[in-house]
Structure 1
Amino acid sequence: MKFYKRISTILIAFLILALVSGCTNNTSNEDVLVMGFVPMRDGDALIESVKPLEELLSQELGIKVKAFTATNYVGVVEGLGSGQVDFGFIPPFAYVLANSENKAQVILTALNSSGKSNYRSQFLVSSDDNSISSLEDLQGKKVAFVDFSSTSGYLFPGAHLAGLGLELDNDIEVIIAGGHDKALQLLLNGDVDAATTFVDARDRYASDFPGAMEKTRVLGYTDYIPNITVTTRGTMESELQGRIQAALLNIAESEEGAEMLKELFNMYGFVKASDSDYDIIRETARLMNVNLKEQD
Structure 2
Amino acid sequence: MKSFKKLFLSAALIAGTTLGLAQTTSTAHADYAPKKLTVQFVPSQNAESMEAKAKPLEKLLKKELGIPVKVSVSTDYNTIVEAMGSKQVDVGFLPPDAYVLAHKQYNSKVILQSLRYDIKKGTNDEFDKSKLVDYYRAQVIVRKGSGIKSLKDLKGKKIAVQDTTSTAGWIYPAVSMYKQGININDKKNKIKTVVVKGHDQGVISVLNKNTDAAFVFQGAERLVKKDTPDVEKKIVPIYTTAKIPNDTITVRGDMSPKWQKKLQKAFKDIAKTKEGHKIVSTLYTHEGYVDSKDSNFDVIRKYDKIAEKLDK
Q: What TM-score comes out, normalization by structure 1 length?
A: 0.68
Amino acid at match of 1:249: K
CA drift of 1:162 comes to 1.1
Stretches of structure 1 lacking an aligned partner (at least 5 in a row): 1-25, 292-296
CA drift of 1:103 comes to 0.7
Amino acid at match of 1:250: D
Partner residue of 1:158 out of 174, 183, 187:
174
Q: Decide whether the 8 Å contact of 2:36 with 2:69 is kept in 1.
A: yes
Structure 1 residues 20-52: Cα deviation after superposition (integer angstroms, max 9, x where no partner): xxxxxx974543333233455565665555442
Measured in 2, the distance between the counterparts of 1:117 and 1:143 equals 33
Q: Decide whether the 8 Å contact of 2:139 with 2:215 is kept in 1.
A: yes
Measured in 1, the distance between the counterparts of 2:267 and 2:231 equals 40
- Aligned residue number for residue 272 of structure 2: 253
Measured in 2, the distance between the counterparts of 1:204 and 1:86 equals 28
- Aligned residue number for residue 167 of structure 1: 183
- Aligned residue number for residue 181 of structure 1: 204
In structure 2, the CA distance between the partners of 1:254 and 1:274, relative to structure 1 (3 Å rule), is: same
Measured in 1, the distance between the counterparts of 2:268 and 2:62 equals 14
- Aligned residue number for residue 41 of structure 2: 37
Q: Decide whether the 8 Å contact of 2:143 with 2:207 is kept in 1.
A: no
- Provide the secondary structure at the position in 2 that maps to 1:85: coil
Measured in 2, the distance between the counterparts of 1:222 and 1:79 equals 30
Amino acid at match of 2:305: R
- Provide the secondary structure at the position in 1 that maps to 2:262: helix
1:100 aligns with 2:87: no
Structure 1 residues 172-229: Cα deviation after superposition (integer angstroms, max 9, x where no partner): 4424366233336659xxx96x76543245566567484855x876543212233432
Q: Decide whether the 8 Å contact of 1:146 with 1:154 is kept in 2.
A: no
- Aligned residue number for residue 13 of structure 1: none
1:63 aligns with 2:79: no
Q: Whose radius of gyration is greater, 1 or 2?
A: 1
Q: Decide whether the 8 Å contact of 2:158 with 2:192 is kept in 1.
A: yes
- Aligned residue number for residue 111 of structure 1: 115
Quote the RMSD (CA, aligned, Å). 4.0
Measured in 2, the distance between the counterparts of 1:118 and 1:47 equals 25
> Percent identity of the aligned residues?
31
1:267 aligns with 2:286: yes
Measured in 2, the distance between the counterparts of 1:219 and 1:185 equals 18
- Aligned residue number for residue 18 of structure 2: none
Q: What TM-score comes out, normalization by structure 2 length?
A: 0.65
- Aligned residue number for residue 247 of structure 2: 228
In structure 2, the CA distance between the partners of 1:140 and 1:92, relative to structure 1 (3 Å rule), is: closer
Q: Decide whether the 8 Å contact of 1:90 with 1:228 is kept in 2.
A: yes
Stretches of structure 2 lacking an aligned partner (at least 5 in a row): 1-29, 118-126, 197-201
Q: Decide whether the 8 Å contact of 2:61 with 2:266 is kept in 1.
A: yes
1:280 aligns with 2:299: yes
CA drift of 1:248 comes to 0.5
